[in-house]
Amino acid sequence: MADYNNYLIYILTQMRNQEEGVRAMAGLLLKNNIRNHYDEFHHEVKNYIKESCIASLGDSHQLVRSTIGTVVTTLCSKGLSEWGSLLPALYNLLAHPDGQVVEGALGAICKVCEDCAQDMESPQLAGTLEALIPRVLTFVDSPNEKLRFYAIQSLNQFVPSKPQALITHLNQYIQSLYNHATDASSAVRQAVCHGLVLLLEVRPDDLMPQIGTIAEFMLHSTQDQDENVALEACEFWLAFPEQPNSYEILLPLLPRLIPVLIHRMVYSELDIDVLRGNEDDYHVPDRSEDIKPKILKGKQKQAQHITNPEVRFYFHCF
């Protein structure tokens, strides 16, 4: 097994003459081995994998860089404190003159923040986090849309827990979200919507001075052509009514908001049939499933029937 994992990391990081798909597949196999058998790895193998990942984050293929980031965060899930040199190494790579190295490092940071944010807030790593957050903030205004996305998405992960390292730079973070509300990248706009919703849930007072503008932005984003952006914006309309005095902002918006939400709803085939119930369809032959009797046996059978996606009623945006 030791040699096998050494081969996998070698293929992923060193065999640049191979197709990127082959290299990425080796990385995914390695990721699964780490997830399921990491305790069985020899100490030398663990170190070799870690060193190879850090040294290859600037690979020329984006798919390979992303896969290496996935391997890195899988290793972190087994104990970030055991890899004490990781965050300082990634921090240093953010100053690398090669843009691909920077992209690979920030992409890895984003994955680690998504999976291990709580571990990063441990007392042992507090100093590292205090240095990392302002450094990541500098990439929010990068001309590279991937770097902008990685930066905002990384910072979003810390909003629910509100570590001091983020609170210190909270105003700058909020202003960065405002600045990129109309970003050309749909991924960045989605991350902005996500960040504002998180702030509304845990730090609403910080948004109140601009809440009217934010509500208008979310109304506009709910109509975004990218469904991921629109779906993220819909979360705002679930969280906002829970805030005190939100009706003062919502009431004037309702004539525009309600039609937008109704327009963006999704109906199942059964819902559509019900809505068309008044149509005269006597000339259309009945389908067998329309007239076939349903016999429910016991609570379990009934629950299965109710949760069948064909008969659920979706009153949910998208």
The string of pLDDT tens digits covering residues 73-108 is 999 999 888 898 999 999 999 999 999 999 999 999
pTM recorded for the entire structure = 0.80
Residue with tokens 């001091």: 164
Mean pLDDT across 199-216: 93
Q: Residue 214 carries which side chain, given as an amino acid letter?
A: I
pLDDT tops 90 at residue 310: no
CA 26 – CA 61 distance, rounded (Å) = 14
Residue 314 is predicted with a pLDDT of 31
Residue, of 275 and 118, whose pLDDT is higher: 118
CB 124 within 8 A of CB 86: no
58-67 pLDDT per residue, tens: 999 999 999 9
Residue 177 is predicted with a pLDDT of 96
Quote the mean pLDDT of the chain: 86
Can you name the residues that pair with 265 across neighbouring β-strands? 317
